[in-house]
Structure 1
């Protein structure tokens, strides 16, 4: 082996070993990143959930409507004033016939057709332009047990007949029972007795006779057909 050859080899290097790589400033190739399919799936799920949440919020807002609610107790027959009502935006079943919030100004001067309590939804049936009782009519209250009236709940505006029942001894005559036609104005339950007080509107000429018969408690209420 010549001296030059010996100098060209590194100490301890093998003659047939590959040359050492040159260290220079050239950039090294970046390692390829491993793709994670579950990460893409998670992102897609989050985007979908956000879209659904936005759609639900939009639907919730668009399904609500501005309606009127009572903010002060109003007794039946009292005049409705602007300070008695407020506008709220809620989801309401249209079958309830709520009064739209845009009608507030038009309701001033109207009267309550029934007792209205603060916090209740104002419906069209709860407002009237007429006094109760009206001209030529009288209001009579009749206290009835469950056996003296139908189990079907009564509503304001129902046409009923107040029928005189047999006396204490159960006597029955051949004559037709005395009946008085009336219109239901209000219904209230008395929890202490379990009886129901039905306020009915009748012609002035029948009021005294009906009140006297109701005082004997020998009367029954008959609900006539609602469809006319």
Structure 2
């Protein structure tokens, strides 16, 4: 039989049982009928999302504008010198977007430029600026004068739109007196007072010279000062004007 003393030794004391018991976890029970708690909003995430949407919209608008704003313009495919006649291989077209503050030539005008002349030197690989193909424009205080000159009174080469020239008046043929010096040579004597009336006028070529229908004379347009236009026209009508290419 087990004695009472042995039973007391095997049974744990109340203090020891309390010491080894695991603490219980107590959770707050939800209150019936109460609304659930919403998570707190973060303002920085809201602002960031709105900014991302705005940037995306701007990017899409820019891409759409670039795609819809592209157009064809004339492009210089071969280098061109002043006065050079434009051929089909000299110019082409290229697609570009909007170019602020640059005046280009629409690709629709390409065929109309063939056969005209460059008024300035144009390097290869550049967009063709407006107003550099065709006739040279007049400056303020200038008049355009058409001349019909006999061969020998105009250079046969080197005259292009924009070329500087000198319009030289010639003596009156009535004052030119031939004097026989030998059987084969004639000397020309000109009265001194006639040379005093000769003038030299600076001018610019507007259109390149072309051969007249008679096959002898040349037709050319030049820009001259307003004050000299009338006198040069009168002298040209009597075949008393010659053009000299100005080398300066």
TM-score range, shorter chain: 0.3 to 0.5
TM-score with structure 1 setting the length: 0.46
